[in-house]
Structure 1
Amino acid sequence: MTITAHPLVVRARRLAADLLVPEAERVDQEGVPASHVEAVKRSGLLGVVAPVAYGGSGASPAVLRETAEILAGACCSTWFVQTQHHTPVQTLAKSELPVRERLLGPLSRGELLSGVAYAHLRAHPRVPVRVRREGGGWRFDGTVPWYTGWGLNDVMLLAGLTEADEAMFAFVDARDQPGLRASAPLRLAALTAARTVSLELDGLRVPEEAVALRTPYASWAPADRARTLNANPAVFGIAEAALSLLDEESAGPLRARLADVRHRAYALADHPAPFERAAERLAVRAEAYEVLGTATTAAVVAGGGRAMSLTSRAQRLAREGMFLLVQGQTAETRRAHLRALAGEPGGGGGA
């Protein structure tokens, strides 16, 4: 479903055409500039699903998906920095703790940009970040392997596990401070521009009033699992951007495959029972990656030797597609994807 008339979709298309696409190759090599973040903040896109009462747009998940496709297809690094923001907003919108009133408005209105540091919770029962009570607040210790947007984000939603096996999420300033030290920016095959670092936590003290969520890990994990089963909208955005580099004769059949997988993926994402049909979700997710790989490979083939240049849009999209293969990956999604690549029954198969 395309919601081209929605104001935020129109705004996303304008931002992509006027700024993100023309600058994408330079940003890929030099990093996401603060000016890009400011442009996203001004656009209102950070509040796409935020409550209207707090300055957001309260738009549907379908609008969020389409704006994500547009931004990812235009400049995946900028998309990846800003996409982290929506989880903190949604966490606060459901929270009944004091931090909601302090931060939900500024985050919804795009006055502040938030990152996230919680994917390490998926390593459970291993505990990369431990949390324990200290004084009137909490102490965080451990290592966050991946944190995106360092130097661009204002705050981060940091998570760890308590001694009672609770998942705790709290907001802290996204800067070096006592108990929190960032590594040098990581050099990656793709999306180095998104300013990803690792974080060392050594006695980081967080006050009680910064806590946004405290829940048993066993209650948090199923909802997180459900999110990872579905295809990422960025996959469709980058695939479409790659197909735009082909002539219509070459792009036509692939575009039809892409539209079919996209339709089925979003129908599953909108299914009223998010914990059901897991095998089908994983299969469609694998199909989406298959079409993405074919589309970006076709763009490189069509580009010929020019595609090997770092100024080539085709090779940038191919590297970004490779990044999406592992972004948000869990042991479950990895196994399903590998089965699909091997052509095993129930592994996803082809489109």
Structure 2
Amino acid sequence: MKEFYYRRAPDVPGAVALLDADPHARYLAGGTNLVDLMKCGVERPARLVDVRHLPLDRIEPAPDGGLRVGATVTNSDLAAHPDVRSHYPMLTQAVLAGASGQLRNMATVGGNLLQRTRCAYFTDTTKPCNKRTPGSGCPALSGEHHNHAILGASESCVAVHPSDMAVALTALDAVVHYETAHGTGELPLERMYLPVAGTPHRETALPAGALITGVSLPPVPVAARSRYRKVRERASYAFALASVAAAIDIRDGIVRDARLAFGAVASRPWRARAAERALIGAPATAETYAAAAEAELRAARPLPHNGYKVTLVRNLTAAVLSELHEEATR
């Protein structure tokens, strides 16, 4: 590892000022992703600014009836919070599907949203990678890509975003709050992640040096009946091959509202807008659920060895929606 300096931030403005003064610094919270990347040489910060002890570790009711989640809330505390469990069950399920209990006890909400891809070419500094070194190429296109993107990819990058939490938060219309040396700001999570296009090294629309301070969840009545389902190569401690965050409201046999997002299929959590449009106002039937998944997956562009993901996401979406339907009509 490269030698680095360490500084514990005294407060939020102090943390932002430290990073503003040193563009080669990085914020450190739980460190469950950053430290790994430092060990393998992908990240080589000159300074770590520890934000773990800042007063950003609370989950509080928001004035609009939603929730405000601080950036240093641990994944474990988020999943266990009674308001999250009752009003946003897909979020609890998504968090519990990610990593081990030990990692969830350390990992934070802000850090989870900013974790970087687990693509083997990205984490191996002996290989070219456009995320690490723009213009060097993407060997996954012709190499190992069975768990890579089928939606929204480009010739520059086919890596997928690894977060489970972010998939559920995208379906819930979460908003990210941040602070910079020039003031505060906010971004809908769906817009925070940039399309991969030709600049895969630019992963978010956050301003340089921005410190995520929290995430707000609006009141989403449909989310009270919701589910997150993750398919992986082994039963635990594995990143997704595909995942679905879904919520559905059925009244008088018609889908009145629906939320749907996919994970492990794109460089960012994928909000399934076409599928939502196909669902809302349609009869609540198995045929409708299958057709909605098909509507979203028409845009899929699989590589030679990951075409199975199209079938997997289609069947997973239909199954999760059918299960939610059964719960709603009992």
TM range, smaller chain: under 0.3
Structure with bigger helix share is 1
Output the TM-score relative to the length of structure 2.
0.28
Structure with bigger strand share is 2
Output the TM-score relative to the length of structure 1.
0.27
